[in-house]
Amino acid sequence: MPARSSETRRIHSLLGQRRVSDVVMVAILSVALLAGLVGFAVHVLWIAAIVVLALGLGYVVANARQDRREAIDRHREDEERAA
């Protein structure tokens, strides 16, 4: 069995982390949807729905920034290997 390269290990690690963050994101959006739907009857829950959606959007922005950083790091590593 061939040994895994460091890049392959990093990709598997990142994919494992992404699954966890996707589960968290689905849970947050589900809670926001539920609070929003119940908010039609109990108007105070609209505030909870907005707060939960803000948290969800925070996760989306943080993941996008992390993805950009990883792409830049990967590009730098490729340049260093080529040089």
| Residue in the block written with tokens 């609070």 | 35
Which two structure tokens, joined as six digits, stand for 67? Answer: 């993805």
**Whole-structure pTM over 0.85, yes or no?**
no
HEC profile for 4-58? CCHHHHHHHHHHHHHHHHHHHHHHHHHHHHHHHHHCCCCCCHHHHHHHHHHHHHH
Asked if 48 and 35 count as a contact pair (C-beta separation under 8 A), the reply is: yes
12 pLDDT band, cuts 50/70/90, is low
Tell me: the pLDDT tens digits for 57-78? 888 888 888 888 888 988 888 8
Tell me: the pLDDT tens digits for 19-51? 557 777 788 888 888 888 887 777 777 788 888
- pLDDT value of residue 17: 59
